[in-house]
Amino acid sequence: MSVPGPDGQATLIGVDDLLDPVGLGRTESALYLRLLAAPRSTAEDLAAELDLPAARLHRPLAVLTEHGLVTRLAGVPARYVPAQPDLAIDALALRRQEALERLRAHARDLTRQLAEAPRGSAGDLVELVEGDQAVLHQLARIQSSAEREVWIIDCPPYLLGHPTGNEEQEQAMRRGVRYRSIYHAPVLADPEKLQNALHLVAEGEQARVLPEIHLKMIVVDQRVGMIPLSFAETETGVRILVHQSPLLRLLVTCFELLWDKATPLGVAQAPGPEAPDRRDRELLAMLSAGMKDRAMARALGVTERTVTRRITQLMTRLGARTRFQAALQAARRGWL
C-alpha cells in the first residue's frame, strides 16, 4: 500500500492492523489505507485493489463512515474519500479512551457494590488461591484496585524463592495510594532487599522494621487482605484471600499493633546541617531495627570491623553509652 509523498513519489504504508487499537479490524485498516492512496475510489475500485468481492466491503465502508474516517460522496456510483489521518484518528482514539474510562468507573462501582453486599456463608468470606502464578496475579490485582491505602508485612519465605520487586506498588503510589510496610529485620541484611526498601521509602512508602516477625500479610483499603495458608518456613504457594469480615478486622488490628511496636526505617529528607552523612544514617536506621553487626556489614558492603568502629564514633557523637541510647538520640534529632 502506498500514498503520494511530499515529492509526489509513492510512499509505502504497510500497517495491516493500523486501526486495531480503536477496535477496527484488518479490512477496515486496509480500506482506509487504500483510500489514502487513491481518494474518491468506488467500492468496485477498492474491491479490485484488495482482491475481495465488492459485497464484502459494504459493511466495513459503513463502519469507517460511522467512525468519521471516511466520507461517502453523493452520486452514482458512490465514491469515498478519507479523512485526514491525524485529526480523524486522534478524535477516534479520544472517544475510545473516554469509553474505557467510563468502563473503569463502572467496574469500580460494581466492585464497591459487591464489597458492600451481605455475604451469606463462610465460603464467601475467604477464597483459597493456589499456585505461585495465581498468587502473584491476585497480589497484582488487589494492589491495582487500591484507592486509599495498602498495608504490608514483609517476611520470608518468598514466592519463587527470593524477594522480588513490586511494580504494582510503585504504580499505586504514583496514583496517590499510601503504603505502610513492616519489614522482618533479618531480610534487610540482603543488600538488594535493603536498597529496594530504601528506594520505596524515597518514593513515599512509610516503612518500619521489627527484629523478628513471622506474619506475612497484605491489606488493601481495609476491604480485602491476603495471608499465607501456613506460616511454616517452607513457602507453600497457597494464600487465603480474606474479604470484609471479622477475620479481616482482626488482621487490621494486628497490623496496627505491630506498627506501633516497629522502628521507622529510612532517613529524614532534611536532617539538618549537624546530621551525619547518608551512609551513617543508613547504619543508624539498621542499628535501630536491631540488626547485628555482621548483617549490617553485608548490607553496607563493608567489613564488620568498620561497622563496629563507625557505631562507636556515632555513639560518642551522640553522647550515648549504649547502642539503644544511640538509636533513641538519633531518632530524637531527626536523623532516622
Q: Hey, what domains does the chain have and what are their CATH numbers? A: 2-87 (1.10.10.10), 130-265 (3.30.870.10), 278-332 (1.10.10.10)
Question: What per-residue confidence (pLDDT) applies to 123?
Answer: 52
Give how far the C-alpha of residue 96 lies from the chain's centroid of Cα atoms, to the nearest Å.
Answer: 23
Distance, in Å, from the CA atom of 121 to the CA atom of 118, rounded to the nearest integer, reads 10
Is the pLDDT assigned to residue 221 strictly greater than 80?
A: yes
Question: What per-residue confidence (pLDDT) applies to 96?
Answer: 80
Is the pLDDT assigned to residue 250 strictly greater than 80?
A: yes
Give how far the C-alpha of residue 227 lies from the chain's centroid of Cα atoms, to the nearest Å.
Answer: 20
Decide: 80 and 61 in contact? Cβ < 8 Å.
yes
Question: What per-residue confidence (pLDDT) applies to 2?
Answer: 46
This prediction has a pTM of: 0.52
Is the pLDDT assigned to residue 133 strictly greater than 90?
A: no
Is the pLDDT assigned to residue 74 strictly greater than 50?
A: yes
pLDDT in tens, 272-285: 556 788 888 888 88
Decide: 185 and 210 in contact? Cβ < 8 Å.
yes
Report the share of the chain in percent with pLDDT over 90.
18
The DSSP line for 65-120 is: HHTTSEEEESSSS-EEEEPPHHHHHHHHHHHHHHHHHHHHHHHHHHHHHHHHS---
Decide: 124 and 53 in contact? Cβ < 8 Å.
no
Report the share of the chain in percent with pLDDT over 70.
84
Amino acid at 203: E
Amino acid at 118: P
Is the pLDDT assigned to residue 163 strictly greater than 50?
A: yes
pLDDT in tens, 198-220: 888 888 899 888 877 888 899 99
The mean per-residue pLDDT over the stretch 25-40 comes to 87
> Where residue 187 falls among pLDDT bands split at 50, 70, 90?
confident
What is the chain's length? 336
Question: What per-residue confidence (pLDDT) applies to 157?
Answer: 79
Question: What per-residue confidence (pLDDT) applies to 114?
Answer: 63
Hey, how many other C-beta atoms are within 10 angstroms of the C-beta on 286? 25
Decide: 275 and 242 in contact? Cβ < 8 Å.
no
Question: What per-residue confidence (pLDDT) applies to 19?
Answer: 84
Distance, in Å, from the CA atom of 326 to the CA atom of 317, rounded to the nearest integer, reads 9
Question: What per-residue confidence (pLDDT) applies to 5?
Answer: 43
Q: What is the mean pLDDT of the chain?
A: 81
Question: What per-residue confidence (pLDDT) applies to 146?
Answer: 92
For residue 122, give the C-alpha cell. Answer: 463462610
170: which residues sit within 8 A by CB, 6+ positions away? Answer: 200, 203
Decide: 149 and 256 in contact? Cβ < 8 Å.
no
